[in-house]
Amino acid sequence: MADPVEILVASRNAKKLEEMQRILREHLVEIAVLGLDDVTPYDEPVEDQPTFVGNALLKARAGVAATGLPTLADDSGLCVDALNGMPGVLSARWSGPPKSDHRNNELLLAQLADVPDERRTAYFTCAVAVVLPDGTEQVVEGRMDGRIIREVRGAGGFGYDVLFEADDAPGVTTAELTPADKDAISHRGKALREIAPLVADLLR
């Protein structure tokens, strides 16, 4: 049997790696997904691009350059309409260093405290880039629309999931969905399902 194809996912987030592996394996059974902790450490780029696409490409290019492996990277975040699209590309570090989901969620609730329910619309967006050693690049984007609730709910997911109700799953936060149900509607799930067959074709 052929050895599995190795692909680096430029992330240390265990839940994100699991999510990516689940979706990629729907298209590439013989795939070994490696995270940043599985390869020799390298200088990771500062995510200083103004767009999700720019940051995803930055991370994927750095991964290929350092490891020689096909590299997949994503940049994703929450865009809140009442906050003019913020926190956007700053989502992970919205409340300042060190990164803290808890502090980010507290800050978001405080910023939206006086915003009425009908204006608490928001969406998650995700750009996924894959870069191959030969310089081939592909980028896709996914989006999940919904709203910000007024209290933390749920124990699953990560980031702002505990405050986000998706339009496609009203009444529950994305932190209350099963992994499979979240994958089916999430911004990352949509982007990965779009890019997975492209990656499969590129790696064959």
Is 100 annotated as contributing to ligand binding?
Answer: no
Is 59 annotated as contributing to ligand binding?
Answer: no
Number of other residues whose CB lies within 10 A of the CB of residue 3: 7
161 phi, psi to nearest 5 deg? -55, -35
Euclidean distance between CA atoms 134 and 100, whole angstroms: 37
Is 188 annotated as contributing to ligand binding?
Answer: yes
Is 187 annotated as contributing to ligand binding?
Answer: yes
Is 42 annotated as contributing to ligand binding?
Answer: no
Euclidean distance between CA atoms 185 and 197, whole angstroms: 18
CB 30 within 8 A of CB 202: no
Is 14 annotated as contributing to ligand binding?
Answer: yes
Cα 176 from chain centre: 18
| Known catalytic membership, residue 181 | no
Identify the active-site residue in 38, 43, 75, 81. Answer: 75
Is 76 annotated as contributing to ligand binding?
Answer: yes
Binding residues for Mg(2+): 75
Binding site listing: 11-16, 75-76, 158-161, 182, 187-188
Binding site for substrate: residue ranges?
A: 11-16, 76, 158-161, 182, 187-188
Cite the active site residues.
Answer: 75
